[in-house]
Amino acid sequence: MFLRYYGLREQPFGMTPDPRFLCSSVSHQEAFASLVYAIETGRGFAALIAKPGMGKTTLLFQLMERLRGSASTAFLFQSHEDSRGFLSSLIADLGLDPNEQDLSSLQRQLDDVLVREAHAGRRFVLVIDEAQNLADSVLESVRMLSNFETPQAKLIHIVLSGQPELANKLMRPELAQLRQRVSVIAHLNSLTEPEVAHYIGHRLKVAGYHGAPLFTKEALAIIANRSEGIPRNINNLCFHALSLGFAKGQKRIDRSIMAEVLLDLNMRRLGERPLYDPNPETEPGGNQTASRSEAGRISPRESDSLSIDEVPLTPATLPRSQKRGSGSPFLWAAGILVAILCAGFYWNSPFVKSRRAMIGQSVSGVIQESKQAADMPSPAAQSPAKPAPQPSAEADSQLNDLATERNSKPKFPG
């Protein structure tokens, strides 16, 4: 679609494992060397374990290309339910007829092939891709293949390739005998940012591109960040970026192109704020964020580790309503206002009014009874006053005598 527009002979970011496009990082080089060493030294079993999309199959194809002149190879990638199906696929891959043969017949046929290759001085290498999908019974049959040997050397060399689930499966106790035979384990790491830039440049060069870099430094940084250094994700992002650049008549992939690619790939979960805000929004300082039709601006948090399939929501991309904490003064003011309105509605409700009227009548009755009680005369006021006792004649005589005696005594000068 865009090959002629960019001056390319073929698709540089295809999804097939073409060994010509393999760009060996440090991790890939170490893994490849480990597998070659295991085969050349006759270790019997080797394993290659990496996350999906890291280029395991491409590396295995390169390995088979390396061994083409010195060994016979067989490549299996389909899962099998039983041992007979597994051996039938292996025999068919060798160009033989496995039809209507029982398990022992298939084993004898494979043994004949291995002995013939050994007499010709050639190794026999069996590569099993996506080995984590094999049933335990099939893995046991794979282990039994290592019994094809002479006192001096192994007749078959087996490479098990798979995702991290393969390592978990080999650690199970029932597969301990197979795990003990795996003497070399290689793994692939994610590409670093410089390796991502080299990877993209290498694939463009193999596809026939010559000229100035197609991707700006900002675009390469975004690809490295969002792809998590996984080659399959890198290919996906680059393919969509070149397609969008072709549609817009833009030959150099920059920051704005990558922003639209991230949107087109639906990088956000449902309901989350998009990484690239298509609607301009006024900030508190009066500045407006760029719209999608402008030069393009991505959220400044480009250093966040985000994958293609899932982009976690970071604080920098949260809406303002979610950024505010629970102690925001706006929330407190709104809560107090709601409380006041609810109290007013409750106070003026018919039920509360009727209760207030009943309480008022009860209080009025109590006050009226108190007034009536206060106006009534006390029992002491209603009873007649008793006359004061009058002194008797004898008492009067005694008082007079005391007064006469007091007056007759001589008085001393003061």
Instruction: Say yes or no: 177 and 281 in one domain.
Output: no
Write the CATH number for 204.
Answer: 1.10.8.60
The whole-number pLDDT of residue 308 equals: 43
* pLDDT attached to residue 323: 41
CB 223 within 8 A of CB 201: no
Q: Is 347 part of a structural domain of the chain?
A: no
Residue 302 contacts by C-beta under 8 Å, 6 or more apart in sequence?
Answer: 221, 222, 225
Answer yes or no: do 180 and 206 share one domain.
no
For residues 370-379, average pLDDT = 57
Q: Helix (H, G, I), strand (E, B), or coil: what is residue 211? A: coil
Burial of 77 (0-12, 13-18, 19+ CB in 10 A): middle
pLDDT at 410: 52
In the predicted model, is pLDDT for residue 55 greater than 60?
yes
Q: Which of 189-198, 242-251, 349-358, 360-369 has the lowest mean pLDDT?
A: 360-369
The more confidently predicted of residues 103 and 227 is 227
At residue 306, the pLDDT reads 40
Examine the domain organization and report whether 231 and 283 are in the same domain: yes
Question: Range with the lowest mean pLDDT among 144-153, 237-246, 402-411?
Answer: 402-411
Given CA atoms 296, 301, 303, 305 in this order, what sign does their dihedral have? negative
Inside any domain, residue 290:
yes
The tally of domains found in the chain comes to 2
Decide if 345 is inside a domain.
Answer: no
User: Model confidence at 404, in pLDDT bands (50, 70, 90)?
Assistant: low
Asked whether residue 388 carries a pLDDT value surpassing 60, the answer given is: no
**Gap between the Cα atoms of 164 and 109, Å rounded:** 33
Which one has a higher pLDDT value, 65 or 322? 65
Q: How confident is the model at residue 177 (pLDDT cuts 50, 70, 90)?
A: very high
Residue 49 bridge partners (DSSP): 162, 187
Residue that is last in its domain, among 129, 164, 187? 187
Asked if 50 and 120 sit in the same domain, the reply is yes
* CA distances to 43, 49, 51, 53, 375 from 165, in Å: 23, 9, 9, 14, 100
Mean pLDDT of 255-283: 64
> Quick check: 342 pLDDT over 60?
yes
Which pTM value belongs to this model?
A: 0.62
Distance CA 103, CA 83 (A): 8
The lowest-confidence range among 65-69, 339-343, 362-366, 407-411 is 407-411
For residues 219 and 294, membership in a common domain is answered with: yes
Q: How far is CA 409 from the centre of its chain?
A: 124
Note down the domain range covering 48.
Answer: 26-187
Who wins on pLDDT, 373 or 326?
373
**Same-domain pairing of 183 and 197:** no
**Average pLDDT of the residues of the chain:** 77
Q: For residues 218 and 254, what is the distance between their CA atoms, to the nearest angstrom?
A: 7
Q: Is residue 63 part of a domain?
A: yes
Longest CA pairwise span in the chain (Å): 174
> 125 by DSSP, 3-state: which?
strand
- Residue 121 sits in a domain whose CATH number is 3.40.50.300
Per-residue pLDDT at 267: 47
Q: CB atoms < 10 A from the CB of 20, how many?
A: 12
Q: Which of 281, 315, 349 is the last residue of a domain?
A: 315
Over residues 191-200, the pLDDT tens digits come to 999 999 999 9
Has residue 88 been placed in a domain?
yes
Do 179 and 200 reside in the same domain of the chain? no
**Integer angstrom CA distances of residue 128 from 77, 89, 115:** 6, 11, 21
Q: How many helices (H) and strands (E) does the chain have?
A: 17, 5
Considering 78-92, 222-236, 333-347, 378-392, the range whose residues carry the highest mean pLDDT is 222-236
Q: Does 409 reside within a domain?
A: no
Q: Per-residue pLDDT tens for 161-174?
A: 999 999 999 999 99
Whether residues 107 and 217 fall in one domain: no
Based on the domain organization, do 49 and 167 belong to the same domain?
yes
Residues 96 and 234 reside in one and the same domain: no
Same domain? For 49 and 143 the reply is yes
Checking if the pLDDT of 148 tops 70, the result is yes
Statement to judge: residues 180 and 197 lie in one domain: no
Q: Which of 280, 315, 350 is the C-terminal boundary of a domain?
A: 315
CA dist 403 to 167, 376, 391, 409, Å? 135, 50, 17, 11
